[in-house]
Amino acid sequence: MIKAVVGANWGDEGKGKITDMLAQEADIIVRFQGGANAGHTIVNDYGKFALHTLPSGVFYNHTTSVIGNGVALNIPVFFKEYNEVVEQGVPAPKILISDRAQMVMPYHILFDQYEEERLAGKSFGSTKSGIAPFYSDKYAKIGFQVSELFDEEALKEKLVRVCETKNILLEHLYHKPLLDPEEIFQELMEYKKMVAPYVCDVSLYLWNALKEGKEILLEGQLGSLKDPDHGIYPMVTSSSTLAAYGAIGAGVPPYEIKKIITVCKAYSSAVGAGAFVSEIFGEEADELRRRGGDGGEYGATTGRPRRMGWFDCVASKYGCRVQGTTDVAFTVLDVLGYLDEIPVCVGYEINGEVTTEFPTTAMLEKAKPVLEVLPGWKSDIRGITKYEDLPENCRKYIEFVEEKIGFPITMISNGPGRNDIIYRNK
Ligand code: GDP
């Protein structure tokens, strides 16, 4: 059986922690999309880790961590992270890499930087990890699969062809140094040495694992609102962030994905540009940012301060719906314990009308939040393990949100650690 852990919002909902927690009972953890552009922060017995490309299952001996074909695989970054985890005392994780995963090429990162420079103030707020150029090339059919490393002659030829077109852009659009296919080939031969022991037909491996009754966890990156189709286009990421894409990005049957655990944070945060209706500013935002997450709301990859806002029922209802949510994990609730009153965005006012349905981007830009204010619980809820033991106003907040989004909140996370979780039977 397959479970997916995905985000309802803009990312940074705490998926890493939920995956790490659910991985205790899983056999295989699979990354199926995205690349090194976003990160998960995980706190466990080994310490605190910021993972960008490694699946969150790497901390267990009993799990196999898999890079699916849908991932933008940055090989040197992947192995740097792998080595760092091992150096910090984690037993060498068992990993597998899809032979169909495509590689982030050194020039993807350069093109990402050059394009951001060219767009200057109008940029998309890219993390400059090469993700957009990578997926552009994948769909333009000039990307490189890991399997291509193993046919050196064909690889050389294709590199010459691809560099020709890249060099036209470098010379005439960006005015930057040109690419040398031979140099890239040598670098790819280094990549080959690194990945060779781990490459396999991941889709077949997972098919066989399912037949043996193994439990597979699909680990999503970012959230619904960053999906290129259903998100706030064009301020989105370049690969689908939805659980449904897990079937494609891992190569598994869609009907095997039985549980879709959508992670929703108890307040909002976003990185990069784009409409953010329930955003707050000034001292109110600074305080939430400082207290947020585990040590503040700053990007795991870039260290950038995140934009902050109140919980957005409109965006979250939509975010849960497009994921096909079976369970909501409501996270970072403990952080709100300092507030006397907690505003919640319950509707969007657009051109004088209030809606609770999430609109397309142009309309979203016009939306003003309709807020409802709930009483705070003014206490520290960390350490509580039973739903009934939560303060009444805290339960009311959860139940209010649950009613507005229309999906069952079955897990409540009240701290960054593996065991800071309250299960609720629905
Ligand atoms: P992800 O990308 O969705 O995995 O999210 P991030 O890792 O970027 O952000 C989540 C942050 O919140 C991390 O620093 C976690 O350690 C932390 N975190 C996760 N769940 C909780 C929680 O319930 N309470 C608190 N205080 N921090 C949490």
Average pLDDT value for residue range 89-106: 96
* pLDDT digits 0-9 by tens, 164-219: 999 999 999 999 999 999 999 999 999 999 999 999 999 999 999 999 999 999 99
C-beta 40 within 6 A of ligand 1:
yes
19 Cα nearest atom in ligand 1: 4
Q: Is the pLDDT of residue 17 over 80?
A: yes
Ligand 1 center from residue 43 Cα (angstroms): 9
Q: Which of 9, 21, 41, 382 to mutate to test the pocket of ligand 1 (most atoms within 8 A of CB)?
A: 41
Between CA 348 and CA 346 the distance in angstroms is 7
C-beta 336 within 6 A of ligand 1:
no
**61: number of Cβ within 10 Å:** 9
In the chain, the percentage of residues whose pLDDT exceeds 70 is 98
What's residue 271's pLDDT?
86
What's residue 426's pLDDT?
65
Ligand 1 center from residue 87 Cα (angstroms): 23
What's residue 217's pLDDT?
97
Ligand 1 center from residue 13 Cα (angstroms): 6
Q: Is the pLDDT of residue 78 over 90?
A: yes
C-beta 52 within 6 A of ligand 1:
no
Average pLDDT value for residue range 288-314: 88
Ligand 1 center from residue 345 Cα (angstroms): 21
| 108 catalytic per annotation | no
Between CA 296 and CA 21 the distance in angstroms is 21
Residue 90 — pLDDT band, cuts 50, 70, 90? Answer: very high
Residue 342 backbone dihedrals phi, psi, to 5 degrees: -125, 110
C-beta 220 within 6 A of ligand 1:
no
In the chain, the percentage of residues whose pLDDT exceeds 90 is 84
Distances (CA, A) of 17 to 319, 341, 382, 389: 19, 27, 15, 22
**Residues 309, 278 contacting (CB under 8 angstroms):** yes
Residue of 20, 40, 108, 137 marked active site: 40
* pLDDT digits 0-9 by tens, 360-392: 999 999 999 999 999 999 999 999 999 999 999
| Whole-number average pLDDT of the chain | 94
Q: Is the pLDDT of residue 227 over 80?
A: yes
What's residue 133's pLDDT?
95
What's residue 158's pLDDT?
98
* 0.85 exceeded by pTM: yes
DSSP string for 346-389:
EEEEETTEEESS---HHHHTT-EEEEEEEE---S--TT--SGGG
C-beta 112 within 6 A of ligand 1:
no
**40: number of Cβ within 10 Å:** 23
What's residue 371's pLDDT?
98
**299: number of Cβ within 10 Å:** 18
Q: Which of 301, 308, 332, 412 to mutate to test the pocket of ligand 1 (most atoms within 8 A of CB)?
A: 332
What's residue 31's pLDDT?
96
Average pLDDT value for residue range 270-278: 90
Residue 289 — pLDDT band, cuts 50, 70, 90? Answer: very high
Task: Using CB atoms within 10 Å of the CB of residue 379, give its burial: 0 to 12 exposed, 13 to 18 middle, 19+ buried.
Answer: middle
C-beta 292 within 6 A of ligand 1:
no
| 389 catalytic per annotation | no
Q: Is the pLDDT of residue 300 over 70?
A: no
Q: Which of 86-95, 329-338, 342-351 has the lowest mean pLDDT?
A: 86-95
DSSP string for 44-95:
ETTEEEEESSS-TTTT-SS-EEEE-TTSEE-HHHHHHHHHHHHHTTPPPPEE
Q: Which of 76-90, 153-167, 241-255 has the lowest mean pLDDT?
A: 76-90
Between CA 319 and CA 233 the distance in angstroms is 14
C-beta 20 within 6 A of ligand 1:
no
Residue 233 — pLDDT band, cuts 50, 70, 90? Answer: very high
Q: Is the pLDDT of residue 309 over 90?
A: yes
Closest CA to 9 of 227, 155, 296: 227
